[in-house]
Amino acid sequence: MELYREHGFDETTVAEIAERAGLTERTFFRYFADKREVLFGGSNALQDKLVAALADVPESAAPIDQVVRALEAAGDFFDDRDFSRQRHAVITAHPDLQERELIKLSRLASALAEALHRRGVQKPAASLTAEAGVAIFKVTFARWINDPEERDFTELIHESLAELKAVAAGT
């Protein structure tokens, strides 16, 4: 992030990133496919965390509540608001990074939908619920990084869910 701030994302090279991290370029490529992936390195861990958290929610809960309970686990994942703001600014400034972010979120929705389906939620409902959950996640994340009160991620998840339910109810 320091290099991206200092030189800009486009001007920062893999060689500079590797050097700053005390690695060789070869070692860098063992961990990341390219310099863009540095910004998304935690996406698989986040997905795994949310799917595992979903497995811990009672199946008797409504599907949307199961997903929201899983999303609560993301609160522990995001502990550095300033870093998240910087990362978001870099991604927002580059359409190709925005596209990659959308792909990662789509994979998250697919993983959550599959986990819901394994728990007995039928396919169309599982997909719709997972997509709604990812929408809640996206709105919550934007609120979290921009919240002047710096409220808790979980509190903002529930606020976003309440707004989604109000919109769906037509109120």
Q: What is the pLDDT of residues 22-79, one digit of tens each?
A: 999 999 999 999 999 999 988 999 999 999 999 999 999 999 999 999 999 988 888 8
Separation of alpha carbons 26 and 18, rounded Å: 9
Tell me the residue range of the domain where 124 lies: 42-169
The answer to whether residues 121 and 145 belong to one domain is: yes
The CA distance from 64 to 75, in Å, is: 17
pLDDT score of 153 more than 90: yes
Residue 122, pLDDT > 90, answer: yes
Alpha carbon of 101 to those of 37, 69, 91, 92, 119: distances in Å? 10, 22, 8, 10, 27
Residue 51: predicted pLDDT: 97
Residue 79 is predicted with a pLDDT of 81
- Could you tell me if 75 and 7 lie in one domain? no
Confidence band of 104 (pLDDT split at 50, 70, 90): very high
* 78 shares its domain with 136: yes
Classify 118 as helix, strand or coil.
helix
- Triad 122, 112, 154: Cα angle to 5°: 120
Give the ranges where 32-152 is alpha helix by DSSP (H): 43-55, 63-72, 74-77, 81-92, 95-118, 123-146
pLDDT the model gives residue 46: 95
CA distance 154 to 165: 17
The residue among 34, 86, 64 whose CA lies nearest residue 135 is 64
| Rounded Cα–Cα distance for residues 169 and 40 (Å) | 35
Q: What distance lies between CA 74 and its chain's CA centroid?
A: 8
CATH number, position 23: 1.10.10.60
Q: Domain containing 94 — which CATH number?
A: 1.10.357.10
Other CB atoms within 10 A of residue 75 CB: 16
Residues in contact with 116: Cβ distance below 8 Å, sequence separation at least 6, in sequence order: 54, 63, 66, 67, 125, 126, 129, 130
| Residues above pLDDT 90, as percent of the chain | 91
Closest CA to 34 of 18, 48, 55, 46: 18
pLDDT tens digit string along 154-167?
A: 999 999 999 999 99
Q: Total structural domains in the chain?
A: 2
Q: What is the pLDDT of residue 5?
A: 86
pLDDT at 171 over 90: no
